[in-house]
A = this chain, B = another copy of it.
Amino acid sequence: MDYRDAYRGKRCMITGGMGFIGSNLAHRLVELGAQVLIVDSMIPDYGGNFHNLQGIEDKVRVNIADIRTESTVRYLVQGHDFIFNLAGQVSHLDSMLDPNTDLEINCRSQLTLLEACRHNNPEVTIVYAGTRQIYGRPQYLPVDENQPVRPVDVNGVNKRAGELYHLLYHDCYGLRASALRLTNTYGPRMLMKHNRQGFIPWFVRLAIEGECISLFGTGEQRRDMTEVSDVVEAFLLTAASEVCQARSFNLGHPHPLSLRELIEILVELCPECSYRLVPVPPEKKRIDIGDYYGEFSRFRAAVGWEPKIDPREGLARMVAYYREHRKHYW
């Protein structure tokens, strides 16, 4: 499917648009000739970073706002053709330490946004950024969409609710909504300040700094990784496609890596770094899901998507980006 013409001149809002995936999407939408409104709360430590807009600052509108504020959301949703709904609390550990904040952002604000669309922009198309975290520890691999949902953290429960709200507002009110269940996304413009938003950025940072990377457990856990440009393409295909409405799709990558293999690639890219195996700390063990890799054939069948970027190429691109832009990220 060719979506390139679908966005020319179209009004696109990106919640969480200053963050990792949102800003990469903004760059691509600008290339495609869209009118982009970025909405972001810029909560410290969540991933919003003005540097992420470098090169498109003058081609997008930025509105700092928190999606927890109902009246603001009600106003902002008006007049858009597409909403890419990426705002969220994404740290699994934080969701266990402060379940209420996760609930406010990942449940209540999603309801607020959907209510706002229903009343003020019922024709909009919304794509929701869901997560493979909803499945918890896989019962079989690769994980397809029929896998039982059994989250291992509060974030997983709330992200599942967020996804179901979107489908529900389609079923009940006809909103054009769909959801993608992202797996480990990585690449340029990712938060690198702390290690609470996934292991990939933290490993890349340590590698670039020439540090010794602590790998929990045996390093044999296998994960699939999708480079952010492939994920951006997935969002653009979904929003432009009729067949995606009211459905949820897994993303995934056909070449899962063990964490040890991932680190070995980083050691090749950054020969000054090293790694060692250390025991898993209890607060991480509790919410660890073991091996995970996703089956994305439902999505491939719907829109023809498959990831184009291999982990080795993606990691090389990521390392190069942060070597150049490091001062803006840590």
Name the one of B111, B146, B153, B164 contacting A160, with C-beta atoms under 8 angstroms.
Answer: B164
CB A165 to nearest CB in B, in angstroms, measures 6
Chain A 148-177 interface residues, beta-carbon cutoff 8 Å to B: 148-154, 156-158, 160-161, 164-165, 167-168, 171-172
Count of identical protomers in the assembly: 2
- Binding site of A, secondary structure by majority: helix, strand, loop or mixed? helix
A4 located at the interface, meaning its Cβ lies under 8 Å from any Cβ of chain B in the complex? no
> Is residue A328 contacting chain B, with contact meaning CB distance below 8 A?
no
A160–B150 alpha-carbon span in the complex (Å) = 11
Cα–Cα, bound, A108→B154 (Å): 11
Complex: how many Å from CA A157 to CA B168?
9
Docked Cα-Cα span, A156 to B287, in Å, equals: 26
A248-275 with Cβ < 8 A to chain B:
none
A111 and B168 in contact, given A149-B149, A160-B161, A161-B160 (Cβ under 8 angstroms) = no
Q: Is the C-beta of A107 less than 8 angstroms from some C-beta in chain B?
A: yes
Q: Flag whether A96 is at the interface (Cβ < 8 A).
A: yes
A218 within 8 A of B: no
Contact B108 A103 (CB under 8 A): yes
**How near does chain B come to A146, taking the closest CB pair, in angstroms?**
8
Q: How far is the CB of A256 from chain B (nearest CB, A)?
A: 24
Whole-angstrom distance from the CB of A116 to the nearest CB of chain B? 12
Is A72 in the interface zone, CB < 8 Å from B?
no
Bound together, the chains give a CA A115 to CA B101 distance in angstroms of 14
Knowing A108-B100, A111-B103 are in contact, say whether A152-B164 is a contact too (CB < 8 A): no
- Cα distance, A151 to B171, chains bound together (Å): 10
- The one of B103, B136, B148, B161 in contact with A157, judged by C-beta atoms closer than 8 angstroms, is B161
CB pair A172–B152 under 8 Å, yes or no, is yes
Q: What string of 1s and 0s marks CB contacts (under 8 Å) between A164-202 and chain B?
A: 110110011000000000000000000000000000000
Q: If the complex has contacts A103-B107, A111-B103, are A171 and B152 also in contact, measured as CB distance less than 8 A?
A: yes
| Smallest Cβ-Cβ distance to A167: which chain B residue | B150
A33 at the interface (CB under 8 A from B): no
Instruction: Give chain A's interface residues, CB within 8 Å of chain B.
Output: 96, 99-100, 103, 107-108, 111, 115, 136, 146, 148-154, 156-158, 160-161, 164-165, 167-168, 171-172, 286-287
Which 4 pairs across A and B sit closest by C-beta, in order of nearness?
A157-B164, A161-B161, A99-B111, A172-B286
